[in-house]
Every structure is written in C-alpha cells, then in structure tokens.
Amino acid sequence: MNIGEVAQASGLPSKTIRYYEEIGLVRPMRSENGYRHFRDTDLHKLNFIGRARALGFSIEDCRALLALYEDESRESASVKKIAREHLDRIDEKIAQLSDMRATLSHLVDCCAGDNRPDCPILNDLGKLDGSPA
Amino acid sequence: MNIGEVAQASGLPSKTIRYYEEIGLVRPMRSENGYRHFRDTDLHKLNFIGRARALGFSIEDCRALLALYEDESRESASVKKIAREHLDRIDEKIAQLSDMRATLSHLVDCCAGDNRPDCPILNDLGKLDGSPA
DNA sequence: CTTGACCTTCCAGTGGCTGGAAGGCCTATA
DNA sequence: TATAGGCCTTCCAGCCACTGGAAGGTCAAG
C-alpha cells in the first residue's frame, strides 16, 4: 500500500504517518520509485498508534506500548503501569479544568453582558491579591 | 522595579515576562543601563495576565481582555463573549478527557498487571476495527 | 503529450514558554 | 582595586505533535 491508502485505512493524515516514520514509530519499505510501501503489519501498527493517541497517550508512551505489544515475553504489569500513570495525568488535567470551569462559570454568571462597561470578570482578573471571589 | 522584583511580585518567571514583552503584552521602560524598568501599571498588567492564564485563557484572549480592561467605553458583553467561548472550550476538553478516562480506566481495571503477557489494554489497542469494547 | 492525482523532500510555523550560552552591570568584600 | 557573585541583557535552540506549503518527481488516463 502507498501512503494515501494507509492514511485512508488508518484515519491518520499522510503527513502524520511520514512524521511517525521520521521519529521511528513505523518503518515502511520503499518501492523502486521511492514511494513508501506499507505492509499489513505497518497498517496494524498505525492503527495501534492511532488508538493509543486517541486515548491521549504521548508519542513516547506509544513507543513503549508498541514495544510491549511486540514483546511476547512482556509482563502485563508494565503495560498497566504506563496506563495507570497516564490515567493519573488525565485525572489531574480534569481536576485542573474543573477548577477553571468553576471559577470561570461563576464569573460569567455574574457578568451582565450588556452595553455597560462594568464587568465582574475584568474586576476579578484585575484584583490586586489572590483572595477568593 | 527590575524584572526580578516584578517576577517575584507577580509570580511569573522572568523569562516569561521577557516573552510577554516580546509579543507586546507589556511595554516596560528601559533604564539607562539597558535594564527593563517596570512601573506599577506594568506589574498590574502582569498580574492580570497571570490570572487570565491561570484560568486557561490563550495569550490572544489575554491580549483582547487587557484591551477591554483598559477601554473605559467597553461593553461587558464583549468580555462575557470571550469568557463564554473559553468556557465552551473548557467543557469540550473536559468531555474529551472524561471519555478517555472512562475507556482507559475500564481497560486498566481489566488488566491483571502481573508477570503474564496477556493484557486487555494491548488487546484493545491492537483491535482491527473500531467496535466498542 | 498533457493533465491531474499522487508521491517525494525540505523548511517553517504553531503555542507558550524554557534552557542555555555569552557577555554586560552592580554591589560587597578582601 | 581586584574579584566574586548575582543580577541583567540578547540570541538561539528546543519542547510536543504535528501542519502547511513550496518545489519537484511519478504514474495512469484520455
């Protein structure tokens, strides 16, 4: 398969696939004309990466997960560790965003949103100290 | 004030403050020796930016919010619009992360995490189609 | 023989910093 | 007065994971 077909099949843009080759995540063959030639295993890998990325894993996590995937003598504990650490990072982010959301949504609710200049949002951002709203 | 004092007072790293000057968010004066000289209004602006950034506003949002902050004839609707759009983006992100979290936490729960190679996490990532778990 | 779709490489840009090198300035102490 | 150190300056490179675009090669159809 050429890169376009693999892009189609995997749902990843060609540019991204070239990038993944550049950083060594996949190693497609080359045809005589210089075109990348992808085998089924390459497509399979790309699907794997696409799914892992969709779950928010970093490229380096993907690399590690792929290595484990291909290592028949892996221990599932290694995989679980990576996944759980990632889960923790997700939880942190959600917590952060929820904090932001709470503050911001309160401010938005307080703002009249009319043609007058007075605005609790700006008042809050312009406050001198870090005291609560 | 020199940059170090302002960094201290605002909680922002000096590097970040220099960056904010570079992109035109603040415009400190210069002393004869070439050092940046910050007035109270500069510090105030930096505090404003720091708070807005902590709420997740982009730099361009910060720029717009600062402009509104300094515009006495603003309409609070303009501010509210920016804030609400940002709130929507936050909600989207939270939703995305929650989806990831749900999938991932299910997979983690299914994985024995022992010394055997069998692993539901890898099985899922390596699946051929996009069917649900 | 040309058109147009595909492919190639290479370079630059995104956002928002962050790190580091190389060098100037300022103050305190020996 | 020398020097040590802590501040400040600029400039350049790197982070992450792509994305866009230019310039050009290849291939199949009409």
Interface test with B, best of A98, A122, A124, A131 (most B CBs within 10 A): A122
The span from the CA of A121 to the CA of A99, in Å, is: 16
CB–CB of A108/B83 below 8 Å?
yes
Q: Of B101, B122, B109, give the one whose Cα is nearest residue A48.
A: B122
Encode pLDDT of A75-105 as tens digits.
999 999 999 999 999 999 999 999 999 999 9
Residues in chain B: 133
Contacts of A75 (CB under 8 A, 6+ apart): B114, B115, B116, B117
CB–CB of B27/A71 below 8 Å?
no
pTM of the predicted protein model: 0.91
The span from the CA of A107 to the CA of B20, in Å, is: 25
Encode pLDDT of B30-84 as tens digits.
999 999 999 999 999 999 999 999 999 999 999 999 999 999 999 999 999 999 9
pLDDT score recorded for residue B128:
74
Contacts of B68 in chain A (CB under 8 A): 119, 122
Rounded to the nearest 5 degrees, what angle is found at the Cα of B91, between the Cα atoms of B87 and B96? 150
Interface test with B, best of A89, A119, A131 (most B CBs within 10 A): A119
Can you give the distance from the CA of residue B33 to the C1' of nucleotide D3 in angstroms? Answer: 21
